[in-house]
């Protein structure tokens, strides 16, 4: 029985009605992994097959009233998070043999909700670069064209979803890592409001409101399901909070709703040929659902956003990874992007960091003024189509030379810099046969509203089921 592309919420309903068993779901998952994972290299650090089936058998014997919201669903955890008994390599040879002794907060919640952890999903080294390749496990390939990048850093998770190896997956996002791979693999990826999903207590969460974990799936209902498990206040994590409205997501009536289209930010963001045009055509589909779509002039200079972002990002990364630079042997193991971030962060003065935060505040005020007029704002999810997988990153866009390894992802900064909730909407395919997506974002705390808009989009479009990968 193949259950590979069944939505998670439907599988859970079938489990409750005893139409399928946890063992059925696990065997279907294993069959699908053996069929496609060697081709795309999305799931790593896999458990033994018999151990996974044994856990599914135990799950079938749990009484219905004792089952959690993810009971019996197989899941693989992104290889930046700790899952007890699994390697946490972070894609780095420095941690190639690092076995997790305990679960991170989100993993503990996923496990306690009844999900069965079967492995990890591949990620670039330390999650940097939006292209999932590393010297530990190799490159994750795009299932729509195996010569192309799957994006990142949640590339393994996105590919596992797109190919039916998983129904739900966790990811994390600083600079588009839940949005870029979702767009390039024709699935949904959500960066929640910063603080809704708690980070680890050992991280600095007072100063660095940039990165967050979040859910990925092939439909918004499954996104909401996983987010409801991952999210919630934690006593050791300041600014963490709960949102009970996530438990039931229904399609919003979009009649009269106002959607602001930010396009290429007044020409500031370069795009590969055909991508901006395809994105604009896609966003106009909201009009068919009754919404009003209006073009929005750039509310702030893009250079202000870039200056703020690059300083705050490098400052955070230098604080977390800087110790690896003091050891010559470790430094030699780091890819150039990691070294660049650390060196840039270490070069900053306290006043430069302060001024970067002032720019962020300026943008927050302007963004909230926009949300007085619009229910949601939209940008393309990426500025390029999936590029060749043997390249570390694009070095130009449409003839424009790029000055950093991550300049090609500048379009994700506006929402990420403010910690706003953002949902990648699968938006279709280009003439090249490659998928693309739209970033739909809303005010802080409007996560359930965003998912309700996404559910309306999904019912109208449903690109993940309409066009699955051939592998």
Q: What is the pLDDT of residues 190-230, one digit of tens each?
A: 999 999 999 999 768 788 889 999 999 999 999 999 999 99
User: In a 3-state reduction of DSSP, which class is residue 258?
Assistant: strand
pLDDT, tens only, 293-323: 999 999 999 999 999 999 999 999 999 998 8
Owner of token pair 């809704």: 196
* pLDDT tier at 244, thresholds 50, 70, 90: very high
pLDDT the model gives residue 161:
98
Sign of the CA dihedral 189, 178, 144, 410?
Answer: positive
pLDDT the model gives residue 1:
61
Domain ranges for the chain, please list them: 8-303+352-466
pLDDT the model gives residue 330:
86
Rounded CA-CA distance 280/414 in Å is 18
Sheet of 376-380, strands arranged across: 168-173, 212-217, 188-191, 422-429, 435-441, 376-380, 258-261, 292-295
How close are the terminal C-alpha atoms of the chain, in Å?
A: 19
Checking if the pLDDT of 433 tops 70, the result is yes
Secondary structure E strands in 318-449: 376-380, 396-397, 400-401, 422-429, 435-441
Across residues 245-267, what is the average pLDDT? 95
Rounded CA-CA distance 422/377 in Å is 9
pLDDT, tens only, 19-64: 999 999 999 999 999 999 999 999 999 999 999 999 999 999 999 9
CB 188 within 8 A of CB 221: no
Count the neighbouring beta carbons within 10 Å of the beta carbon of residue 188. Answer: 30
CB 5 within 8 A of CB 35: no
* pLDDT tier at 467, thresholds 50, 70, 90: very high
Across residues 428-442, what is the average pLDDT? 98
Structure tokens at 127: 């999650």
Rounded CA-CA distance 464/428 in Å is 9
Checking if the pLDDT of 250 tops 80, the result is yes
pLDDT, tens only, 111-165: 999 999 999 999 999 999 999 999 999 999 999 999 999 999 999 999 999 999 9
Q: Which CATH superfamily is domain 8-303+352-466 in?
A: Amidase signature (AS) domain (3.90.1300.10)
Across residues 262-268, what is the average pLDDT? 98
């Amino acid at each position: 029985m193949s259950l590979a592309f069944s939505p998670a919420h439907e599988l859970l309903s079938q489990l409750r009605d005893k139409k399928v068993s946890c063992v059925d779901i696990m065997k279907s998952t294993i069959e699908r992994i053996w069929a496609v994972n060697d081709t795309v290299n999305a799931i790593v650090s896999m458990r033994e097959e018999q151990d996974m089936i044994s856990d599914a058998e135990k799950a079938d014997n749990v009484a219905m009233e004792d089952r959690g919201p993810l009971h019996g669903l197989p899941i693989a955890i992104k290889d930046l998070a700790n899952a007890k008994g699994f390697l946490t390599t972070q894609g780095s040879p420095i941690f190639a043999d690092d076995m997790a002794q305990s679960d991170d907060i989100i993993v503990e919640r996923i496990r306690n909700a009844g999900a069965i952890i079967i492995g990890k999903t591949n990620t670039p080294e330390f999650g940097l670069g939006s292209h999932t390749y590393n010297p530990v496990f190799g490159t994750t390939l795009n299932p729509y064209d195996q010569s192309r990048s799957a994006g990142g850093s949640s590339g393994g998770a996105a590919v596992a979803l797109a190919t039916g190896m998983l129904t739900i997956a966790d990811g994390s996002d600083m600079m588009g890592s839940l949005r870029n791979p979702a767009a390039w693999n024709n699935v949904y990826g959500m960066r929640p409001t910063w603080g809704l999903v708690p980070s680890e207590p050992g991280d600095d969460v007072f100063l660095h409101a940039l990165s967050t974990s979040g859910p990925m799936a092939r439909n918004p209902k499954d996104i909401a399901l996983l987010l409801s498990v991952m999210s919630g206040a934690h006593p050791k994590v300041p600014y963490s909070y709960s949102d009970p409205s996530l438990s039931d997501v229904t399609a919003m009536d979009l009649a009269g709703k106002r959607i602001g289209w930010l396009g290429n930010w007044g020409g500031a963001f370069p795009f590969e040929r055909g991508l901006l045009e395809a994105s604009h055509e896609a966003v106009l589909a909201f009009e068919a659902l009754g919404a009003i779509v209006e073009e929005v002039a750039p509310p702030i200079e893009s250079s202000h956003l870039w200056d703020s972002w690059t300083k705050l990002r490098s400052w955070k990364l230098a604080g977390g990874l800087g110790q690896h630079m003091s050891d010559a042997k470790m430094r030699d193991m780091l890819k150039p992007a990691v070294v660049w971030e650390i060196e840039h962060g270490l070069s900053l003065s306290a006043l430069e960091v302060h001024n970067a935060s002032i720019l962020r505040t300026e943008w927050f005020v302007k963004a909230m003024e926009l949300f007085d007029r619009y229910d949601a704002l939209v940008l393309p999810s990426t500025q390029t189509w999936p590029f060749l997988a043997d390249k570390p990153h694009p070095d130009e866009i449409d003839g424009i030379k790029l000055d950093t390894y991550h300049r090609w992802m500048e379009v994700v900064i506006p929402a990420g810099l403010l910690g706003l909730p953002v949902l990648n909407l699968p938006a279709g395919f280009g003439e090249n046969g490659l998928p693309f997506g739209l970033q739909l974002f809303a005010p802080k705390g409007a996560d359930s509203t965003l998912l309700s808009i996404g559910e309306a989009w999904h019912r109208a479009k449903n690109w993940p089921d309409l066009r699955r990968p051939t592998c």
